[in-house]
Each structure stands twice: as structure tokens, then as C-alpha cells.
């Protein structure tokens, strides 16, 4: 059969090859930190300026006595540095040092990568490991949305009392009937003023629906759509607050997501001291600022006792709450007593400015509230007075809470206020600690599975497709490197054990791309085309099939990521990123390599004689 003369196949333009090379170099640099291990640096600094850093020898003796391993110790004029190669020993070593040296020294630790200085300057970071690989703590929280709804109705009821007084209605009774709504009972003389009152209520609280029970009684309830909206907003606000608290703890690889209708799943990789995390995450703290009822016209009263047993009568409606707090930091006053410095947002600043201007010389009461579970497993709100201060001058958006019991309590209160108050009480219903040794075992088994899969694939491609199989193997290696680099670049990407399974799957998908292309090239060769033209047509015609297959898989991965959580989400991340890198290396990189290696028509290719 005679070959019809055809034009010489169009080779890749030089700029296309340049783009491919630059992309691969950038991904390679991004992937490099993963080939270096992490180490823990612990700095031991004297508390006083006159103190001297601890000498290496006594520190070595102390750690040897406690059977703690370390890599190196160095000292300078400012501090002593202790290096650990194993992150699992970090908690135990820190515990030993704090028990023996905390009175005279400040103990601080950081985790750094052993990558070269030039790579660290470029900002390269290794892939963040998930809970099942690095060890850590898993929390599952139950959000009491029903209690949040009851609290919201109580707040609205107090506001309605104010409206009733402003409209000068007599004989009006307000009562919160659980979660069903607010009952409004009017005297016969007040029925004429009902319409303007209802108009005002509808304007201020459009989410409430009035339902008339009788001529003198009606109820204000949440309609079904508004109730669903309230539940959704409560969950979003709780998740946001939890993420803020976790960030304050310095944990950057945490996973916080909704699980079911009213539960939140929190994964804290690398955390080996769960008590501190539990104390902060499980706290349901809120802060409210009240005026004494003796200085109020009325709107209900609230009775509470201070730490000395003195009973205080407060306005039921707070001047402002912790939701108006923009920033909080611990500190000390001129006498050295601990305090918390607060900065309010614009709305809170205006409220504080107006209130303090009108009440100079009068007291303001700060009330700290939190929920706990009683013996019947019911959420009960406990409030305590932490500060009664006299307003000395016109205040603005910045002021302080004094008389804190200790600096540690001031630090924890500041942390909770920075992260935000919770509108719904939360309860830890599940806590699981995963040891780092189990994570190391998972990594070892995952790498063995990945290595075995890659080895079998490489051998098969070399034996079956010969020279083009070698190109496919090079593209496969570049694909794995590109995937590692891409994951290192994405701040939210976390490698989990199912993610390693996704890596194994990515190997198969990347090879499948090359198999489709090579089989198409073989068909074109059997039809009588020359080698160069068969390669060009094979890549061109196989691309549509490859694109369709990868798009459908990508859609599946995106759905898994959207509706899944935990291990499912980790698998979906690797799957989606693997599809992108497989398309890049399997089609564009392998074609560039093929054009580079095969530049003339051969007598035989892929077992087809020409």
C-alpha cells in the first residue's frame, strides 16, 4: 500500500515547550521540601535579664535521667537551643523541661523543616499530614440549637417589653413558651394599640410570624423557612468560632466541618496534649456588660451574686455583648495585676461611647457565662460576675477588664473573646487520640503499596510499549512529582491515608492516558501512516476521549469533596488534583518528550513493521 504524501507533522512551538519546562521546574521546587524531614527546636530562655542561659551539660544530664532522646544542644548568650528529630517526643520533653525549669526559664518550641536555606527563602513547605498520618486528636461536638433558639426568644422577649413600655400599653403580659414562640396577652383596654405594636414588631423582627389565638392573645413564632435559616446560621457561626479558636491555638492543619444536622467534626493533627485543646474548643464562654437596674427605667431585672456573695440587680438587657469584641489581649495594670484589654467593633464602640457618656460615676457589671451539662444531660447556663467597675470617664472602643484572678485566666479569656462567643452551647460527644506511631505505620504501609504499584506499572509499560513505554514512565514520574508540588502549594490540601490510596489511583489514571494514546498511534500505523504522522494523529484523536473520561471523574471527585468529610474529603482532594496533573503530564509533557525522542520515520514502532 502506497503512502499518500502528507505535510510534515507540526511540532510543538518552542514557547509551548518553554511553558512546560517552567511549570515542571516550579512544581519540582515546590515538591522538594517533602524530601526533607522536620525537626523540633526548643528554646530555653531566662525569665529575667540578669539570668544566664542553662549550660548544655546540666540539660543533657536532665534529659538523660528522664530517658528523653535529642539530636543536639547549643547555647549562646541569650538562650539555649535543644533540637529533636522526632516530633512524637516533643510533648514529653516539653513536659519535663516545664516541670524542672519553668520557674527560672521560658520554654518555647517550633517545628522547622531541614530544607536548605535557599528553599526556605522561597517559602517552600512540605505537604501537611492528616490526623491518620501524623497522629493527633479527633473531637465530635454536638451543637444544642434548641437551647440557642430558646436564648434568642428570651432576648426578643426583653426587647418586646421595651416596645410595650414605649407604646405605653398597660396590662400586657409576655411569656416565652419553650421553643414554640412568644405568647403576647393584652388587656381589653390595649387592643386598639395592637396594630401599631404588631407593625413595629414586624419591622424589627421580620423573621417572626404573628398567629392570633384569641381576641386578646397571640403568639409570635418562627415560620418553617425562618427556623431552618436560624439553624443554618447557628451552625455556620459555631463552625466559624471553632475555626477561630483553633487558629488561636496555633494549629494550622486542622479540619473543621459540619457532620450531619447539628454536629461538628474537628481533626487536630500533630496535637498530643488534648486537654488544652479540649478546654478551649469545648468552652461555651460568652461575655456581657450590664447596667445596674437601679439606674434603669425598666425592662425587667436580672439577679446575680458576685464572688463575695453580694446580690446585684441588673437590667435584663445587656448594654453590649462579646459579639461586639474585635480584639482581646491579656496584660497587667500599673500595679502588676492581670487584666484583659478589649477593642470593640464600630457598633460596640458606639454603644460603649453613648453608655459611658451618660453614666460617668456609675458602675458597669461584666458577666461571664458558660453552659454545662447537669445530671439530666440538660444544657444549663451558669453566669458569674468577673468585674464591677465604676465608669471614670467617657470611654470609646478600647477599655480593660480588671481584677482577673490570674494571668493564665486572663490569657484564656482573651483567647475565647478573640475567637468569638458561641450562640449555642456545644458538648464534646466523642474524643479520640491517635498516636503518632500509628500514623508512621500508616505512612509506611501506604508508601509500600504505592511503590509496588509504580514498580509493576513501570515494568509493564517498558515491556509492552518499548521506547514509548519509557516516555510514559518518565511522564509518570513527573506526574507524581507535579502532584506533590501542587499539594504543597495549596494551603488547604492535607494528605491522609485515603489520600495515599488516591496517589495509587493516580498512577493508574496517568498510565491509562498513555495507553489510550499509544493504542491510537498503533491503529494509525496499521492503517499505513508514517511514524511521525501516526504520532501526531494519535495524540490529536485520543485527546477528546481522554478529556471526556477525566472530566466525568473530576465531577465525581468534586461531589465527593462537597458532601464528604474526613477521609472521604482527603481522597477527593488527591483524586481531583491527580486528574489535573495526569492530563498535563500524560498528554502535553509526553507529547513533547515523544517529539524530542522520535524525530524521523522509523521502520518499526509499537511492534508494527512499516
CATH 3.30.70.260 is right for the domain spanning 37-114: yes
Which three cell numbers, joined as nine digits, stand for 536?
501526531
The H or E element containing residue 568 is helix 567-583
Name the CATH architecture for the domain at 145-224: 2-Layer Sandwich (3.30)
- What the block records as the C-alpha cell of 429 is 460527644
Q: Counting runs of H as helices and runs of E as strands, what totals does the chain give?
A: 16, 25
Rounded distance, CA 95 to CA 547, Å?
Answer: 55
* 499-515 burial code (b ≥16 CB/10 A, e <16): bbbbbbbbbebbbebbb
Contact call for residues 505 and 582 (beta carbons, < 8 A): no
SS3 258: strand
Q: Are strands 105-113 and 38-46 parallel, antiparallel or unpaired?
A: antiparallel
CATH architecture of the domain 14-34+435-609 equals: Up-down Bundle (1.20)
What pTM was estimated for this model as a whole?
Answer: 0.62
The pLDDT of residue 220: 81
Q: 111 Cβ partners below 8 Å, 6+ apart?
A: 38, 39, 40, 41, 87, 90
- Distance between CA atoms of 436 and 271, rounded to whole angstroms? 10
* Grid-cell match 517552600, residue found: 124
User: What is the location of CATH 1.20.1640.10 in the chain?
Assistant: 14-34+435-609
Assign 327 a pLDDT band (cuts: 50, 70, 90).
confident
Residue 273 has pLDDT above 70, yes or no: no
Q: What pLDDT is recorded for position 6?
A: 47
Check residue 605 and give its pLDDT: 62
Q: Identify which has the larger pLDDT, 173 or 522.
A: 522
SS3 412: helix
Query: Where does the chain hold its CATH 3.30.70.260 domain(s)?
Result: 37-114
Greater model confidence, 317 or 29: 29
pLDDT above 60 for 509: yes
pLDDT of amino acid 460: 86
Alpha-carbon gap, residue 145 to 227, rounded angstroms: 11
Asked if 120 and 210 touch (Cβ cutoff 8 Å), the reply is no
Percentages helix, strand, coil for the chain, rounded to the nearest 5? 50, 25, 25
Please give the pLDDT value at position 446. 78
Radius of gyration of the chain (CA): 33
Q: What is the reported pLDDT for 380? A: 67
The CATH 3.30.1360.200 portion of the chain extends over: 283-432
Tell me the mean pLDDT in the region 600-607: 60
pLDDT of residue 188: 61
Higher pLDDT, 517 or 531: 517
- Give the DSSP H or E segment for 425: none
Q: For residue 174, with 0-12 CB atoms within 10 Å meaning exposed, 13-18 middle and 19 or more buried, which class applies?
A: middle
Number of Cβ within 10 Å of residue 402's Cβ equals: 16
Burial 228-257 (b: 16+ CB within 10 A, else e): eebbeebbebbbebbbebbeebebebbbbe
Task: Indicate the pairing of strand 494-495 with strand 128-129.
Answer: parallel
Contact 396, 412 (CB under 8 A): no
Per DSSP, the residues of 13-54 read PHHHHHHHHHHHHHHHHHHGGGGS-EEEEEEEEESSTT--PP
Cell (9 digits) for 593 = 518528550
What's the whole-number mean pLDDT along residues 98-115? Answer: 74
Residue 5 CA from chain centroid, whole number: 62
Choose from 324-333, 462-471, 581-590 the range with maximum mean pLDDT: 581-590
Question: Which residues of the chain does CATH 3.30.1240.20 include?
Answer: 145-224
Compute the residue count for the chain: 610
Give pLDDT tens digits for 359-386. 787 887 878 777 666 666 666 677 777 7
* Alpha carbons 246 and 266: distance in angstroms, whole number: 9
Distance CA 248, CA 416 (A): 9
Confidence label for 2 from pLDDT (cuts 50, 70 and 90): very low
On average, the pLDDT of the chain sits at 77
Answer whether residue 467 shows pLDDT above 60: yes
Q: DSSP letters of 93-142?
A: HHHHHHHHHTTTEEEEEEEEE---HHHHHTT--PPEE-HHHH-EEEEEEE
220-226: long-range contacts (C-beta < 8 A, 24 or more apart)? 220/156, 220/181, 220/182, 220/184, 221/180, 221/181, 221/182, 222/149, 222/181
Give the other-Cβ count within 10 Å of 224's Cβ: 9
Taking residues 266-278, what's their average pLDDT? 74
> Stretch 490-509: mean pLDDT, rounded?
80
Cell, residue 502: 488516591
Say what the pLDDT of residue 282 is.
67
Q: What is the pLDDT of residue 555?
A: 92
Residue 129 CB partners (closer than 8 Å, separation 6+): 253, 269, 270, 439, 443, 494, 495, 496
- How far is 547 from 544, CA to CA, in rounded Å? 5
- The per-residue pLDDT for 371 is 67
- Res 500 pLDDT > 80: yes
How large is the average pLDDT for residues 187-193? 60
Tell me the CATH architecture of domain 283-432: 2-Layer Sandwich (3.30)
**Confidence tier at 530 by pLDDT (50, 70, 90):** confident
Residue whose entry in the numeric block shows the C-alpha cell 397571640: 218
The pLDDT, as a whole number, for residue 609 is 45
CB-based contacts of 579, cutoff 8 Å, min separation 6: 506, 509, 550, 553, 554, 557
Q: What pLDDT shows up at residue 1? A: 44
Amino acid at each position: 500500500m502506497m503512502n499518500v504524501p502528507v505535510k510534515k507533522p507540526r511540532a510543538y512551538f518552542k514557547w509551548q515547550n518553554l511553558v512546560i519546562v517552567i511549570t515542571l521546574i516550579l512544581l519540582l521546587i515546590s515538591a522538594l521540601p517533602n524530601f526533607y524531614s522536620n525537626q523540633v527546636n526548643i528554646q530555653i530562655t531566662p525569665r529575667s535579664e540578669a539570668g544566664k542561659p542553662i549550660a548544655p551539660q546540666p540539660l543533657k544530664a536532665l534529659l538523660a535521667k528522664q530517658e528523653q532522646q535529642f539530636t543536639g544542644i547549643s547555647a549562646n548568650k541569650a538562650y539555649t537551643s535543644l533540637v529533636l528529630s522526632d516530633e512524637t517526643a516533643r510533648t514529653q520533653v516539653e513536659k519535663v523541661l516545664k516541670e524542672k525549669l519553668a520557674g527560672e526559664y521560658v520554654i518555647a518550641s517550633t517545628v522547622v523543616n531541614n530544607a536548605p536555606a535557599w528553599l526556605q527563602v522561597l517559602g517552600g513547605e512540605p505537604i501537611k499530614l492528616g490526623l491518620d498520618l501524623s497522629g493527633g486528636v479527633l473531637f465530635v461536638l454536638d451543637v444544642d440549637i434548641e437551647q440557642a433558639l430558646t436564648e434568642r426568644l428570651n432576648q426578643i422577649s426583653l426587647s418586646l417589653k421595651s416596645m410595650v413600655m414605649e407604646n405605653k400599653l398597660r396590662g400586657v403580659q409576655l411569656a416565652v413558651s419553650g421553643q414554640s414562640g412568644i405568647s403576647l396577652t393584652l388587656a381589653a383596654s390595649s387592643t386598639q394599640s395592637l396594630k401599631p405594636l404588631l407593625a413595629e414588631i414586624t419591622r424589627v423582627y421580620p423573621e417572626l410570624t404573628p398567629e392570633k389565638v384569641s381576641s386578646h392573645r397571640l403568639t409570635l413564632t418562627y415560620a418553617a423557612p425562618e427556623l431552618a435559616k436560624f439553624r443554618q446560621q447557628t451552625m455556620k457561626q459555631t463552625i466559624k468560632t471553632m475555626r477561630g479558636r483553633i487558629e488561636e491555638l496555633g494549629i494550622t492543619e486542622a479540619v473543621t466541618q459540619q457532620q450531619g444536622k447539628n454536629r461538628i467534626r474537628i481533626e487536630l493533627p500533630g496535637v498530643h496534649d488534648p486537654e488544652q485543646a479540649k478546654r478551649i474548643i469545648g468552652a461555651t464562654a460568652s461575655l456581657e456588660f450590664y447596667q445596674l437596674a437601679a439606674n434603669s427605667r425598666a425592662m425587667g431585672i436580672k439577679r446575680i451574686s458576685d464572688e463575695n456573695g453580694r446580690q446585684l440587680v441588673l437590667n435584663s438587657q445587656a448594654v453590649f455583648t462579646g459579639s461586639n469584641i474585635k480584639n482581646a489581649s491579656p496584660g497587667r495594670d500599673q500595679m502588676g495585676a492581670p487584666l484583659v484589654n478589649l477593642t470593640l467593633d464600630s457598633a460596640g464602640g458606639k454603644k460603649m461611647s453613648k453608655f459611658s457618656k451618660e453614666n460617668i460615676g456609675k458602675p458597669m457589671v461584666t458577666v461571664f457565662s458558660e453552659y454545662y451539662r447537669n445530671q439530666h444531660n440538660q444544657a444549663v447556663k451558669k453566669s458569674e460576675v468577673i468585674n464591677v467597675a465604676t465608669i471614670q470617664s467617657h470611654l470609646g472602643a478600647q477599655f480593660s477588664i480588671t481584677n482577673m484572678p490570674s494571668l493564665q485566666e486572663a490569657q484564656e479569656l482573651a483567647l475565647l473573646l478573640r475567637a468569638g462567643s458561641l450562640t449555642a452551647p456545644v458538648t464534646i460527644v466523642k474524643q479520640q487520640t491517635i498516636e503518632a506511631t500509628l500514623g508512621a505505620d500508616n505512612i509506611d504501609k501506604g508508601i509500600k503499596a504505592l511503590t509496588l504499584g509504580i514498580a509493576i506499572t513501570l515494568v509493564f509499560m517498558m515491556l509492552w510499549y518499548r521506547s514509548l513505554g519509557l516516555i510514559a514512565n518518565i511522564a509518570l514520574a513527573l506526574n507524581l512529582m507535579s502532584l506533590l508540588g501542587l499539594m504543597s502549594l495549596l494551603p488547604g490540601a492535607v494528605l491522609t491515608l485515603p489520600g495515599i490510596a488516591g496517589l495509587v489511583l493516580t498512577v493508574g489514571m496517568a498510565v491509562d492516558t498513555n495507553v489510550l494514546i499509544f493504542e491510537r498511534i498503533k491503529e494509525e500505523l496499521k492503517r499505513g501512516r508514517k511514524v511521525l504522522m501516526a504520532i501526531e494523529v494519535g495524540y490529536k484523536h485520543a485527546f477528546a476521549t481522554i478529556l471526556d473520561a477525566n472530566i466525568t471523574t473530576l465531577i465525581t471527585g468534586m461531589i465527593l469533596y462537597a458532601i464528604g468529610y474526613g477521609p472521604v474529603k482527603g481522597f477527593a482532594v488527591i483524586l481531583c488534583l491527580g486528574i489535573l496533573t495526569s492530563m498535563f503530564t500524560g498528554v502535553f509533557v509526553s507529547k513533547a518528550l515523544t517529539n524530542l525522542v522520535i524525530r524521523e520515520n522509523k521502520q518499526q514502532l509499537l511492534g508494527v513493521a512499516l
